[in-house]
Amino acid sequence: MEPLRKTEKDIHPMDDLLRMDRIPHIWCPGCGIGTAVTAFAAGLAKAEIDLTKTCIVSGIGCTGRVAGYVKLDSFHTTHGRAIAFATGIQVANPDLKVIVFSGDGDLISIGGNHFIHAARRNINMLVICVNNFIYAMTGGQVAPTTPLATYATTSPFGCVEPPFNIPYLADSSGAVYVARWTALHVRRLTNSIAEALKKPGFSVIEVISPCAMYYSRINRLGDGLDMMKFYHDNTEIRHGEDTKNLDIGFQTKIIVGKFVDRERPTYMDSYNKWLSGTKKD
């Protein structure tokens, strides 16, 4: 019989994919980011890709810390610039698969320009956007995804700005793979990540996540478990749904599923075609 390595409870199948020397992590109890990371790690294992040639880039924020816990070549960069940083990596060495793992504020607000441009160029990267509807790291300010009339510390009288519909934004900017899941849909999220990892081009997976510390506390929505119950009762899977119809209001129904899966030449495909053209001249 093979001896137990340490004690059984010390071993976890994902130990090889995570930086165990950095655990415990910084996320609060009830947060959904940990679940997203678990799904990501499971997706990585499932996709059976070369992990040496895979790297992860994060921006700033709660989700921005993900890169630091994943055992790949990992980069924790500046606020909003994860996609731009990842673009450099991908274009300079097209053999690498780059994952950008960051939050809604980081990717859609301060990094919004890079998001749409990378989608337009169809840079080969997977963007996992954890959407908790709020800036959690800085203490609960209004985000570009905060639903109308929702409270946040910088919208003390209720949010007056309409939020972004992330799948619609990604779709209309040219992303080749767009899906949305919540932190409750662990199995489907894992499958989606595994699928998107193998897809060449700009893929976006939005992960709706509870923020028990700020979003639900300011809006009196209970704890993380209550939010999970809410997702259970109020999400509907509609694969292939037109991304126009995916707006999220305050505590309204959330439509999840895989919405876009199409083929477009990636940036490097087009670039190499151009390059081989000039070489002949």
Which CB, 28 or 91, lies closer to other proteins? 91
Among residues 49, 55, 34, which one has the least CA distance to residue 98? 55
Among residues 169, 277, 185, which one has the least CA distance to residue 228? 185
Coil, helix or strand at residue 230: helix
Measure the CA dihedral 255/219/143/83, to 10°.
Answer: -60
Exactly one of 10, 48, 139, 229 binds other proteins (CB under 8 A); that residue is 139
Q: Is 63 in the site for other proteins (CB under 8 A)?
A: no
Exactly one of 84, 204, 218, 254 binds other proteins (CB under 8 A); that residue is 84
- The answer to whether 266 and 125 have CB atoms below 8 angstroms apart is no
Whole-angstrom distance, CA of residue 252 vs CA of residue 63: 24
Which CB, 86 or 246, lies closer to other proteins? 86
Whole-angstrom distance, CA of residue 196 vs CA of residue 175: 11
Exactly one of 93, 245, 252, 270 binds other proteins (CB under 8 A); that residue is 93
Whole-angstrom distance, CA of residue 65 vs CA of residue 57: 10
Residue 150 beta carbon to other proteins: minimum distance, rounded to whole angstroms: 13
Exactly one of 2, 8, 95, 263 binds other proteins (CB under 8 A); that residue is 95
Exactly one of 33, 47, 137, 213 binds other proteins (CB under 8 A); that residue is 137
Compute how many residues bind other proteins; rule: CB under 8 A. Answer: 57
Q: Is 162 in the site for other proteins (CB under 8 A)?
A: no
Q: Is 7 in the site for other proteins (CB under 8 A)?
A: no
Measure the CA dihedral 149/151/157/159, to 10°.
Answer: -40
Stretch that binds other proteins, among 40-48, 189-197, 210-218, 270-278 (CB under 8 A): 270-278
Q: Is 155 in the site for other proteins (CB under 8 A)?
A: yes
DSSP alpha helix (H) spans, the chain: 33-47, 82-92, 104, 112-121, 166-173, 186-197, 215-218, 224-234, 267-280
Exactly one of 35, 63, 102, 109 binds other proteins (CB under 8 A); that residue is 109
Burial 54-66 (b: 16+ CB within 10 A, else e): bbbbbbbbbbbbb
Q: Is 270 in the site for other proteins (CB under 8 A)?
A: no
Q: Which residues bind other proteins (CB under 8 A)?
A: 19, 21-22, 52-53, 55, 57, 60, 67-68, 71-81, 83-89, 91-93, 95-96, 105, 109-110, 112-114, 117, 135, 137-139, 141-142, 144, 153-157, 267, 271, 275, 278-279
